Amino acid sequence: SARDAPIQVRLAITNAKPGRWDAQALPIERLTVQAEGSASDRTRLLLPQFEAVLQQNAGTVRGSGQWRGHEAELVLQLSGLRPAALDARAVALTAAGSTTLTIVGLPSPEGKLPADQKLDVKAVVDLQGQLDAPPRQPVGTQAKAQVVRVQTKAHVVRDLPNAGAQPWRIDLSDMQLRS
């Protein structure tokens, strides 16, 4: 029946005025998303592939994922990521790697709100990169390129009903930073 037929959407959006976060702008130049679902199961949405091209050659984020009920999981591949081109306050480096995000507490794809207003984001990050400029060196010493690798698990919670003055909590675990 038509109700069981898959629904597929391909969306391409271009941002006419991309800019850095610190300038209160969205640093995404172009976003393409492929989504699949079904009218018979409106609680689930598949994202077989998406790509975000970041502004000013700040990198590319490609990935896939799924959104089921109030939970989404995204698997991301980052390439040519330049944080300083996204926000002037960020470190000047170029990195690549992978990130897996699990987000709990979203409205469902059909629009139903979760029972509580708690948003829980877990991330597993594995990035490797190089500083764009070597750190300052004492006079008479040689500067060399600095290679950096970050592996961590992060847990971010936003708990509005019980927040008081602190609605956000961020925990980092298993963090390894190599230089």
Over residues 85-128, the pLDDT tens digits come to 999 998 889 999 999 999 999 999 888 888 877 888 999 999 99
> Whose CA is closest to 23, among 60, 62, 55, 61?
55
Range from 54-58, 65-69, 155-159 carrying the lowest mean pLDDT: 155-159
Q: What average pLDDT does this structure show over 55-76?
A: 96
pLDDT attached to residue 28: 97
Q: Average pLDDT of 161-176? A: 65
Look up residue 62 and give its two tokens: 């490609």
Round to whole Å and give the CA distance between 11 and 9.
6
Confidence check: pLDDT of 163 > 60: no
